[in-house]
Structure 1
Amino acid sequence: MNFKKDKVYDLNIAYIGGGSQGWAWGLMSDLALEPSLNGRVRLYDIDHKAAENNAIIGNELNKRDDVKSQWHYVKSDSLKDALTGADFVVISILPGTFDEMDSDVHTPEDYGIYQSVGDTVGPGGIIRALRTLPMYEEIALAIKEYSKDAWVINFTNPMTLCTRMLYKTFPEIKAFGNCHEVFGTQKLLISALKDICDIDDVKREEIKVDVVGINHFTWVTKATYKGMDLFPIYEQFVDKYYETGFVKEGDDNWMNNAFASGQRVKFELFKQYGYIAAAGDRHLAEACKGSWFLKSPDRVKDYTFGLTKVDYRKEKQKNLREKGLRLRNLEEQFEIKETGEEAVQQMRGILGLRDFVTNTNLPNKGQFSNLPKDVVVETNALFRRDRVMPITMGDMPMSLLGLTMPHVTNQELVIEAVTERDLKKAFRAFINDPNMKLDLHEARQLFNKMVKNTEKYLPDYFKNVEV
C-alpha cells in the first residue's frame, strides 16, 4: 500500500464473491463516501458475468459529483489474479445456490424441525458448513500463496466456522469476521432510552456495549450511554413490552417482513438469564433448544418473529439481478449512502488513520479464559495501525457458558469432519445440535437426504456416502 503526500491511501482490495448484488454494492457505496482511501478493487466470482457487471457499475461511480474518492474496479478471472498484491481481502460468497439452501432450511420441516434462518447452527447450518468449508480451505491456501500479508475480512455464514477454517488452514492469516447483528441491539437500546427516559438524538456509536459469545449467539453484559447504566432502563423496557413485543414506529412489522421481529425472544432471554441477548431474534431462537422458540410455526408467531422462507430469498435475488442489469445499463442510478457496515472504518483503523473499537470474530487468544484456545469467538476489538487486538473479557458468565459451549464443541467437530474428510463426524455434530429432537434412525435418514440434496457442491470425499 502506498501513502500519498495528501494522506490518501492507494489500496488494492481483492473481493472474493465480487459478483454479489448485496455486500459488494454496499462496499462500493461506503468506499465512495470515504475521502481518505482510493485504489483498485479486483472482483473475483465464479459467476464471471456478475463480477464484470459490478466492475462496470463501480467504475461509473467515478463520474459522479457526490463521490469522495476514486476506485477502479476490474473483473479477475482467477484467485491468483485477484489476490496478488492485495492489501485487504473481502470474502462474501453464497456457498452453492438457494436451491441447496432450500433443502437446508425446509427438508427438516418434514421431520418437525423448524429453522428461522438455517445458515449457522441447526441441521441447515451444519450441512451448509459441509459445502462452505472446503471452499474456505481453497481460499485460505490461495491467500497464503498470493497475499499472505493481506488483512482478510469475512462476511460469509456460518461466520464462526468460515473464520475458523481460514486459521485452521493458514494459521498466520490476518483474518476477522464481521457481523452487524449487535448493531441492531444497540439501536434497540436507543429505543429504550427514548421510550423510558424520553432521551432523543442518540447515535448508535454512543451506546457502549461489552460483547460476549459466538457469532449469532452474542450477549451484552454491560451497556452504557454517556456513563449511564442501561440495564435498569432495558429491564423496564422489557417489562413494558414483554407480552406484546416492540416494533419501533416507522419500522416494518415482523408480520410483514421476514427479517424483522417484535424482540420477544430477546426479552424472554433477558428475563431468564439477566443479560441482553445481542443477536437478532431469528438467530437467537436457532441457538437455543428447539422446544423453546421453534417448536412449531404457532410458537414462532407467539414470539413475534418469522421463519424466513427460501422462496423469499430466491425472489429477492431475482429482483436484485434485474436491478444489477439496470444499473449496468445506466437505466437506474446507483444510490450512494452509508450502509452502517464497518469494514471501511476497520480498514482505516488498520491503516493507522484512527483507533476504532467494534465487535468482531477472532480466535480465542484469551478473550474468554473458560473457552478453549483458538475457537472463534465474538467480542469487541481495537483496530489500530496494522493490529486488531481483541478485548479480554475474562470468564464468560457461567449461565451463558452453558448455552454456548455445546455450539463451540459442535463447531469444532464440524471443522474436524471437513479437515479429516470424515462424514461420520459430521453426523455426530448433526445429532448433537440443540434443535435436533429425532431418534437416531430418523436423524440418519434426514442427514443422508440433506447430504444427497447438496452433493453437487460437496468435494468428492463426501459424495455417495451414507452414515
Structure 2
Amino acid sequence: MHDFGQYRSVRIAFVGGGSLNWAMGLMADLAHDTRLSAQVRLYDIDAEAARRNAEIGNLHAAVSRGAPAGYRACETLAGALEGADVVVISILPGRFEDMAQDIGIPAEYGIPQAVGDTVGPGGFVRAMRAIPMLASIGTAIREHAPTAYVCNLTNPMSVLTGALHAVFPGIRAWGECHEVTKIRKQVAWIANRGAGTERFTHRDVQVNVLGINHFTFVDRIALDGRDMRPAYEAFVREHMEPGWAQTESGKDEEHHRYFGTRNLVAFDLFRRFGIPAASGDRHLAEFMPVAEYLADPARWGFALTPVEYRIRDRDAKRARAEEMRAGRIAPRAHRSDEALVDQIAALMGGAPFVSNVNLPNHGQMAGIPQGTIVETNALFSGLGPQPIGAGALPPDLLAHVAGHAERQTALLHAVLSGDRAALFPLFATDPLVAHLPQPRAREMFDRMVAATAGWIPDNLKGAA
C-alpha cells in the first residue's frame, strides 16, 4: 500500500520473526531508511522470540532517521499474513542439532562440508526437512496474502524458492542472497587502491550475475562507467598463489577463523573456467567433488564451520538481544550490506533498483530449462521483480551448473510428490557423494534421514 507523501507505507509479515540474524538486521535497516513507513508483523513457532523481537523493534523508534517502524508479534501465521504487502521468510529448517548431524555423519564417510546447507549430503537432507515447511508457508500465502511480494531468505535457497512457486504458481516470490556482495567488495577495493582513496563501496559496483545460488559467476563488471573486468583479472593473477584475505568487519577472531577466506577457490575456478566466481569459497567448494577443495581446506584458505560454533554464536546473540530488550544495550540505526530494504522501497513505488536474486528461469539464463530456479540480476520496481537477461555460462561450467540445477528441481518434485524411491538415486549423484560405493552412500543417506526424522514427512522415511 502506498502513501505518496514523504514516506511510502508498507505492511511486512516476517515469518521466522524470532530470528536473531535477518530480523535484527531488518530492524536496523528500517531505522536507517528514510523512504518507508513500515508496520512489521512477526510470526515464529517460538512465540516468545517473536515477542522479544517486537519489543526490540519498537525500541528502534528512538534512533530512526525516518518514520519509525512499528512491530507486533502475531500468534498465528494467518494473522501475520493477512493484508501484507511484503512477506519475508527466514526460518531454520530443524535445529542446529539437526545441522550437526548433516555435517557430522558425512564426515564419518570422508565427506567434509564447510557449510552443509545448499548442496552435498547436508544440503540434500536439509531440503527434505525444509521443502514441506516452505510448501506450507506458500499455501498460507496463497490463502491470506496472494498479492504480496515474497522474499525467501532461507537455505537451500534454490530448492525452497522453487517450493514456493510450485505450490502457488502465481506467487510473486524471489530468493535473496548476499553472497555476490563479496566480489563487489573486491572490485571496490581494487578501484580504491588505484585511486588512493576510499571513494567506492560495493554499492557502486555493477555485475552481470549468472548461475544458481551459492554457485554464481559474473561475466561483466562495471564501476563509475568503467569496465572493471580487466582490472579484476589482473587482481586475480596477482593474488592467485597467496590469495586475498576477505573478512567481515565488526566480527571477532573466532568468526574470522571460521568464515574468513583467501578466495583461492574462486580464483582457481576463474583459472579453470575463464569467468570470475562471485560466491564465497566455503559455498563454492561444496559444488565440486571432495578431492578438489574440501579434502584440504587449509590449502585453499578456508575453514569448515563447526555447528558447535554456530550454537555458541546463537547463544551470544540471544543474550545480547535480551540485553537490548531490557534497555541495557541501545539499538542502532545502521545500513547493512543487505539489499532487502532497497528492494522493498522499489516495489512500493520508489526508485527502481537492480540486484541479484533467485527466480524461475524464463529465458534470463541460457542453457538451463525453463522454470528452473536460477540466480541472475532482476529489476525491482512497482511492476515487481523482473529478471534481466544474463546470457550464458561457458560450456564446461554450464554443464556442471546444469547438473546441480536439474538435481535440485528433481529433489523438489520428489519431496512434494512423496516419491521416496527417487530420493536416494538423486542423493548419490551429487558430486560430493558420487565417489562413494553405492552401499556406503546408501548407508550414509539412511543414517542422515533417521537422525533428523522428526522433521521429515513420514512418506519420505524408510527404505525405498
Which one-letter code corresponds to 1:26 in the other structure? G
Whether the 8 Å CA contact 1:212–1:379 is kept in 2: the answer is yes
User: Contact between 2:248 and 2:260, CA under 8 Å: does it hold in 1?
Assistant: no
In structure 2, the partner of 1:373 is: 370
Cα contact 1:33–1:338 (8 A) shared by 2: yes
Q: Helix, strand or coil: the match of 2:357? A: strand
Quote the offset at 1:337 in angstroms.
Answer: 0.9
Alignment counterpart, residue 76 of structure 2, candidates 63, 75, 78: 78
Aligned to 1:60: 59
Matched, 1:140 2:138: yes
Distance in 2 between residues matched to 1:394 and 1:278, nearest whole Å: 16
Q: Distance in 1 between matches of 2:258 and 2:322?
A: 26
Q: Which moved more, 1:242-251 or 1:366-375?
A: 242-251
Q: What is the correspondence of 1:426-445 to structure 2 with a 5 Å cutoff? A: 426-436=423-433, 437-445=435-443
TM-aligned CA deviation for residue 144 of structure 1: 0.3
Q: What's the counterpart of residue 182 of structure 1?
A: 180
Q: Confirm whether residue 316 of structure 1 aligns to residue 313 of structure 2.
A: yes
Separation of aligned partners in 1, 2:369 and 2:99: 30
SS state at 1:313 partner: helix
Q: 1:198-256: per-residue Cα shift (whole Å, max 9, x none)?
A: 56411212211110000000001111222322222222212221111112699678994
Q: Tell me how far 1:55 sits from its aligned partner.
A: 0.6
Q: Is the 8 A contact 1:196 1:236 kept in 2?
A: no
Matched, 1:294 2:294: yes
Q: 1:204 maps to what in 2?
A: 202
Moved more, 92-101 or 380-389: 380-389
SS in 2 for 1:320: helix
> How far 1:185 moved relative to its partner?
0.7
CA RMSD of aligned residues (A): 1.7
Unaligned runs of 5+ in 1: none
1:36 aligns with 2:35: yes
Aligned residue number for residue 351 of structure 2: 354
Distance 1:319 1:248, change over 3 A: closer
Aligned residue in 2 for 1:272: 272
What's the TM-score, normalizing by structure 1?
0.95
1:72/1:248 CA distance change after superposition, 3 Å: closer
Distance 1:129 1:249, change over 3 A: closer
Residue 321 of structure 1: CA displacement? 1.1
SS in 2 for 1:276: coil
The Cα offsets for residues 30-77 of structure 1, whole Å up to 9 and x where unpaired, read as: 111222211311100000000000011111222x14442222211111
Residues of 2 paired with 1:356 and 1:249: CA distance? 27
Alignment check: 8 A CA contact 2:18 2:50 kept: yes
CA-to-aligned-CA distance 1:300-352 (integer Å, 9 cap, x gap)? 10000110110110100111111111111112112321111111110111112
| Matches of 2:424 and 2:71, distance apart in 1 | 42
Q: CA distance change for structure 1 residues 254 and 323 in 2, over 3 Å: closer, same or farther? A: closer
Q: CA deviation at 1:413?
A: 1.4
Identity %: 39
Return the alpha-carbon distance in structure 2 between the equivalents of residues 136 and 142 of structure 1: 10
Residue 158 of structure 1, aligned match among 138, 144, 156: 156
Q: Are the structure 2 counterparts of residues 248 and 139 from structure 1 closer, same or farther at C-alpha, using a change threshold of 3 Å?
A: closer
1:400-419 alignment, distance < 5 Å = 400-419=397-416
1:277 alignment partner, SS class: coil
- Please state how far the C-alpha of 1:398 moved relative to its aligned partner: 1.2
- Amino acid in structure 1 at the alignment position of 2:274: G
Aligned residues: 461
Aligned to 2:330, which of 329, 333, 352? 333
Q: CA deviation at 1:171?
A: 0.3
1:123–1:430 Cα contact (<8 Å) kept? yes
User: Separation in 2 of the partners of 1:356 and 1:383?
Assistant: 5
Match of 2:91 among 90, 93, 98: 93
Deviations 1:281-306 (A, max 9, x none): 000001122211012xxx11000011
Residue in structure 2 matched with residue 111 of structure 1 by the alignment: 109
- Deviation at residue 274 of structure 1 after TM alignment: 1.1
Distance 2:189 2:129 in 1: 39
Counterpart of 2:224 in structure 1 is 226
Task: Give the Å deviation of 1:182.
Answer: 0.4
Whether the aligned pair in 2 keeps the contact of 1:44 and 1:82 (CA below 8 Å) is yes
Q: Is the 8 A contact 1:42 1:82 kept in 2?
A: yes
Mean CA deviation greater in 148-157 or 413-422: 413-422
Give the conservation status (yes or no) of the 8 Å contact 2:57–2:70: yes
Distance apart, 1:423 and its partner CA? 2.2
Where does structure 2 lack aligned partners over 5 or more consecutive residues? none
User: Which position in structure 2 is the counterpart of 1:213?
Assistant: 211
Rate the CA distance shift 1:250–1:166 in 2: closer, same or farther, 3 A. closer
SS in 2 for 1:374: coil
Query: Contact (CA 8 Å) 2:32, 2:66: kept in 1 or not?
Result: yes
Partners of 2:425 and 2:442 lie apart in 1 by 10
Tell me the residue number matched to 2:382.
385
2:283 paired residue number: 283
Q: Which amino acid in structure 2 is aligned with residue 22 of structure 1?
A: N
CA displacement, residues 105-144 of structure 1 (integer Å, 9 cap, x when unaligned)? 1210000001110000000000000000000110010000
Deviates more, 1:418-427 or 1:170-179: 418-427
Q: Who is 2:463 aligned against?
A: 466
Deviates more, 1:363-372 or 1:93-102: 363-372
1:195–1:237 CA contact under 8 A, matched in 2: no
Paired position in structure 2 for 1:24:
23
Question: CA–CA distance in 2 between the matches of 1:323 and 1:200?
Answer: 32
